[in-house]
Structure 1
Amino acid sequence: MDKEEIIRNIQTIIKAEPGKLNGPLYSISRRQMARLCLDAGEELNAIYHLTESHGVGLRQATLFEIAREEGNFRLDADIVSFTKGYAKREAEGMLERLKEMPSEWTIVQVTREYDPFELFNPRCPETSPKLKGFHITRLPCGNAPSQLPLTVESCWPADALKDPVEGFWNVKKKLKMRQGVSSCIRKLRKEAADEAESYCRDFGRMALKQWVVLFLGKLCDKNLENEIRKKIDEVLKKYPEVTKRQRYVIYLLAEGSVHLRDEELDDGIFSITIKNETLQDELYETITNIREDYSSLPVQRRYPVILILDEHLDLLPWENLLIFRRHPFSRVPSLHFAHSLYMLHKNEIKNGLRMFLRELPENEICYYIVNPEGDLPTVEENLAKFLKKRFPNWVGIIGKKPSQEELISALTKSNTFVYCGHGSGSQYMASETVSKLKVKPVQLLFGCSSVALKDHGGIVEMTGDVLQYAVAGSGCTVGMLWAVTSHDTDLMTMNIANLWLPGTAIDVKTFEPLPEGKVKKEPELLRAIKESREVASLFTNKAAFIARGIPIKIVTGDKNL
């Protein structure tokens, strides 16, 4: 099948009547098209097709809701459309999206390679295809002249003993074990935590290698960035044949060099300057000197990275790979939803952060639900004490099930919704109802698998209650990728409340106020999540804690807006 025939097939698929678009087939066709474009040297077109392969079913569901609501829906149909608006302009439309979004944002997309046998291999739920090759696509936002979208290919070694995706499904199954002798369950959890940490350690070195630098956000210190890039420019001015893409990748290698081993740096330089040994040697020496001269690079503050992950790779705790733990990350279903959320919230976004005021009436800041099933007495005891002491004027429900009306009110009237119970809370209100609401900016869902995707097996797209918050236009939904233990979860809940939310921090053991300055406030939600993970003792508990949405900041007064 040649390229033109595949294009005709894709056009046939996307012109199908609403409800008849086959998501997996569409996604596979786009990945196939990307493969052909890369082979033809058309990188930008390949990147466009890769972006189109993500979030297909969710985009389709969103378009249905928009049509049904007849103009009352929050998201713009042209932004998520398959045929209109930005999509009609294809690669140029993709570039327009990136230029419109905040320059502080970096979007990194990970897409499995095209596999012609994928449609024909039977698959049970929670048995994802083996991880083989995948595309890492860096999509820098804003219009800085030195940056451009780029994609590279990587793979999990064919001779590796274990597949990381299969490994994390096994970890997840072990963590769900609830019946049996307590000591055996604890031992199983510890084994699962050790396995998960081992996979995270191996994945960076065995699969990402030198391309870990593509996952790093832009440096907040622009002077430092300029200094490093000037040193690179000094070398490259002797080589006018170096392309804009090559220069940009070299910048990224230099800025992320402290995270690379010598052989990874060498491989990175070789991969983009393959025909010039003199240039390779000069760059290696210059970047090695940069690594030595700028000793603060490992701890330098970076702007957030928004991840778009292939649904079969969503289970992996990317945010907890060793190199990434210091930095803020969130996830969105596709480029279209990142753009949609930006357009919806852009009037409240400054410096790449969706802001909301802390000077609001208490009942507008937060609404909480704690232990609605009544079967988590320790959780109820600890969190009830904490919340009543820490936020005496907040409103919420403790120890009883909420009505659907109470949940709707909580999600639409309070800027932050905190849920501490089983799952995501969807058992009290259908997730489809959420997608129709005008939800407020933040939801913190501290239940097991509260933001996980559900794998149905076969050739069916994954689903998840949390995806409905994206359709509803939520700024950010925070929660757990898999089953977690209550003690660590309670600690992370209380810690993020102390760090991020207004008011005096209190001791999580005595529930007494802490001295002023004892807890350093972190107004950015993604950074507060990163800090709060560290209080968990079990690796799988801290690794489960992720955010889906755009970066959020709580601010004081209009002066910060």
Structure 2
Amino acid sequence: MEDFDIFTNEINYTKPLYTNILNKFVKEVPVAPFSANYESARKLQAEECLKDNDDLTCAFHLSEAVSSSVRTLAAYRDEQIKIGNDKLHMIKSHIKPVQEILKMNTGTQNETELLDLPIDLDKITKILKKYEISDDEPLHKTYLKFTPENNVDDFQKILKELPKEWTIVQLTTPYNPNENLKPLNDYRTEIDSIYITVLTNDYLDDSVGPFTVVVPANVVKEGEKPLFTELYSLLEDNYKTIENAQLLNNKRLVRNYWSRREDIDLRMKSVINTMDRAWLGGWGCLLTGRLQDPKWRDRVREIVDSTITDWGFIRLTKKQRVLLYNLIESSPQLSSTQIKTCLRKILTENGNPDDVREVLDTSDCIHCTVEFNLLTELCVKCLANSFKSIHHFSLVDGIKAFSQAATLVGQSDEWADLKKAKRHPVILIVDEMLDTFPWECLPLLNTHPVSRMENLHFIYYLYKVHEKNIVDGYYLSKADEGRYVINPEKNLSRMERRMVSFVQYWCPQWSGTVGEPAAPEDSDFFLYCGHGDGGQLSAPAPPAPAPPALLAGCGSCRVARRAPRAPPAVSAHHYHIATSPIVIGMLWEVTDLEVDKVVTSLLSLCVPSTAPVPWDQVGKARWGDGQLDTNVEKKSDFKPEPLLLSAVARARRSTSYVMIASSVVARGIPVRVVEGTGGS
């Protein structure tokens, strides 16, 4: 974007100055903007919309505010492909502006002199017509770029077009000006709230679309470390412990190593517990997937609507209703305190600000003023008084009414099966500043099929690319022909023996390389077992198109930032750009034996096999030597899991270490592994 003078007549001074600057920025955004500035501007725009009670536009701006650098990479790759397919593409792109001037036939004197156009315009027009570039690109490609197609209308169109089975929720950090002033290690802990934006949900319809709630973050008890500080601290300790493991040379050091591992594991349990109870609380209900059986949804609607009618909640907004539906539906897995705290916020802080302004009297309050933007700016007393004036009964009674409904759903026998009811997949769009947290391990989500994606743009891109192979919200993928790269750096010998013995036993039809790097070839599935994601070897690089991939190395799915304002990067970005539907990997440093347990458990659940004994019942006393004992008695029936995200959730249970289980994430769209048919 070119510099502009903020003191010119182009600024409308009837609105706040920075709002106009933001509007100018997002309307004149360059083709490939600097991602950090672009995302900051979009967050500020979203916050302005939130203040104006405009949830739809707020959600649109927040959707633009995450992982924009990946969109630039995708646009660059698309341009390189065009150049590769058409050697004149670059020339045509430079000719295009001339064509537009000729078509308009309104070029200025300076433009005409600059182009040095000949007198016979008809002749030159005919010549240039041979080099026209077609702009007829599908929306899933143009929406990836920074074009006029990135607007609220297309945003809504995309959400309606995506599979109805998907629940899509975005977690975003607020704008922080210190990102321009401080080192990354300092400002990454300065997060006091997050925006939870529900883009698709079982209770949303044409009358109520995407909405955002503000949830306090970094909430801890007195004397404890702030949550972000503790997470980064324990990950640093985890890295040092694993890195120094190779130096252990006596029993005392070995005992100390295992003691540190146990301590780190307990600390991660505490982080997850704090996320669940002191941070998200009842708002975790917004992250759950749609119930497969619609009768549960209808019953939840009925009990909430009956409570609203019976108690006479005369001015609840549609957004408040949807929030209540989600909370009551999740009440069997929430504590009474979580439910009541969330109810108070739903009934007050998420109401209609205009209704509150009509009845608000702050004359006796030393904390609040009449002028406010968000209801969260008001104290509990003023909110309670406003609620009573609007609904004609106290906030305590209002909370009691829905608490009774929650108790009925959570404890009565007729609702007992709700807690175990199967759900459709959840796709979390996680802000890069929040991506390190193990969201999938929250109690409300740890049995759900959950994946992460960079942004809505890539969800839609992968959906449209694979649309023909998506049935009931799942991409159908074969796993008959797999490729693998195991121990390419030749320094994980026990891992090599374990993984080779597994592959030969469970999927002998797969092929690959052991002890040397190799790029993945065309296949149904790709497995990498080694250090990191393999990028340090310049291989494996995802082919085009790329298959589903499992990268079993330390930090193989970690979002890394090399500098305070440098775009974050993760191997999954390149796989998604190459149209891989899903990539599974690790968020941080892990140990090979425990990861081998998770990886083999995952593959044995989702990859069909003719092996005589289920993998979980195979004897593994000498697995590190590459030897398996199949002369065992079958203990129970084996239940495969063709839904890849559900298999990931089950595979996490194969290790007793929380640090290992919580490191495993899936990035992509939901995948169902089918036998012999479907897939690409």
Q: Is contact 2:477–2:678 with CA below 8 Å preserved after alignment?
A: no
Q: Secondary structure at the match of 1:117?
A: helix
Please show how residues 418-457 of structure 1 align to structure 2 within 5 Å. 418-429=527-538, 434=542, 437-457=543-563
For residues 261 and 237 of structure 2, the distance between their equivalents in structure 1, rounded to whole angstroms, comes to 7
AA aligned opposite 2:193: G
CA deviation profile, 1:441-499 (whole Å, cap 9, x unmatched): 31011111111111223222211222111211110000111111111111112111211
Please say if 1:269 is aligned against 2:343.
Answer: yes
Please say if 1:227 is aligned against 2:346.
Answer: no
Q: Secondary structure at the match of 1:417?
A: strand
Please say if 1:42 is aligned against 2:163.
Answer: no
Please show how residues 281-430 of structure 1 align to structure 2 within 5 Å. 281-293=400-412, 294-357=415-478, 362=480, 365-398=481-514, 400-403=515-518, 407-409=519-521, 413-429=522-538
- 1:167 aligned to which of 225, 230, 243: 230
Q: Is contact 1:171–1:196 with CA below 8 Å preserved after alignment?
A: yes
Moved more, 164-173 or 66-75: 66-75
Q: Is contact 1:306–1:332 with CA below 8 Å preserved after alignment?
A: yes
For residues 22 and 271 of structure 1, the distance between their equivalents in structure 2, rounded to whole angstroms, comes to 37
Q: Is contact 1:369–1:418 with CA below 8 Å preserved after alignment?
A: yes
Please say if 1:531 is aligned against 2:543.
Answer: no
Please say if 1:115 is aligned against 2:115.
Answer: no
Please show how residues 10-159 of structure 1 align to structure 2 within 5 Å. 10-12=23-25, 15-19=28-32, 21-70=33-82, 76-85=140-149, 87=150, 90-124=151-185, 128-140=188-200, 144-145=205-206, 148-157=209-218
Q: Is contact 2:170–2:429 with CA below 8 Å preserved after alignment?
A: yes
Aligned to 1:552: 671
CA drift at 1:147: 5.8
CA drift at 1:168: 2.2
Q: Is contact 2:482–2:509 with CA below 8 Å preserved after alignment?
A: no
For residues 334 and 571 of structure 2, the distance between their equivalents in structure 1, rounded to whole angstroms, comes to 38
For residues 600 and 646 of structure 2, the distance between their equivalents in structure 1, rounded to whole angstroms, comes to 15
AA aligned opposite 1:79: Y
CA drift at 1:17: 4.1
Against the structure 1 CA distance between its residues 377 and 74, is the aligned structure 2 distance closer, same or farther, given a 3 Å change threshold?
farther
Q: Is contact 1:127–1:166 with CA below 8 Å preserved after alignment?
A: no
- Unaligned runs of 5+ residues in structure 1 are none
For residues 56 and 82 of structure 2, the distance between their equivalents in structure 1, rounded to whole angstroms, comes to 35
Q: Is contact 1:174–1:189 with CA below 8 Å preserved after alignment?
A: no
Moved more, 289-298 or 476-485: 289-298
CA drift at 1:59: 1.0
CA deviation profile, 1:491-520 (whole Å, cap 9, x unmatched): 112111211101133316135287496321
CA drift at 1:335: 1.1
Corresponding pairs, count? 541
CA drift at 1:137: 0.9
For residues 138 and 544 of structure 2, the distance between their equivalents in structure 1, rounded to whole angstroms, comes to 7
Q: Secondary structure at the match of 1:54?
A: coil
Q: Is contact 1:38–1:46 with CA below 8 Å preserved after alignment?
A: yes
For residues 70 and 121 of structure 1, the distance between their equivalents in structure 2, rounded to whole angstroms, comes to 40
CA drift at 1:65: 1.5
AA aligned opposite 2:418: L
User: TM-score, normalization: structure 1?
Assistant: 0.90
Q: Secondary structure at the match of 2:177?
A: coil
For residues 270 and 458 of structure 1, the distance between their equivalents in structure 2, rounded to whole angstroms, comes to 38
Q: Secondary structure at the match of 2:423?
A: coil
CA drift at 1:44: 1.5
- Unaligned runs of 5+ residues in structure 2 are 1-12, 86-136, 349-386, 621-627
Against the structure 1 CA distance between its residues 74 and 169, is the aligned structure 2 distance closer, same or farther, given a 3 Å change threshold?
farther
- 2:582 aligned to which of 453, 473, 476: 476
Percent identity for Structure 1 against Structure 2 = 26
Higher normalized contact order (CA 8 Å, seq sep 6+, divided by chain length): 1
Aligned to 1:6: 19
Against the structure 1 CA distance between its residues 141 and 273, is the aligned structure 2 distance closer, same or farther, given a 3 Å change threshold?
closer
AA aligned opposite 1:439: P
Please show how residues 200-211 of structure 1 align to structure 2 within 5 Å. 200-211=272-283
AA aligned opposite 1:41: N
CA drift at 1:242: 3.1
Q: Is contact 1:269–1:283 with CA below 8 Å preserved after alignment?
A: yes
AA aligned opposite 2:630: E
Q: Secondary structure at the match of 1:502?
A: coil
Q: Is contact 2:477–2:679 with CA below 8 Å preserved after alignment?
A: no
Cα RMSD between the aligned structures?
2.7
AA aligned opposite 2:67: G
Q: Rg: which structure is higher?
A: 2
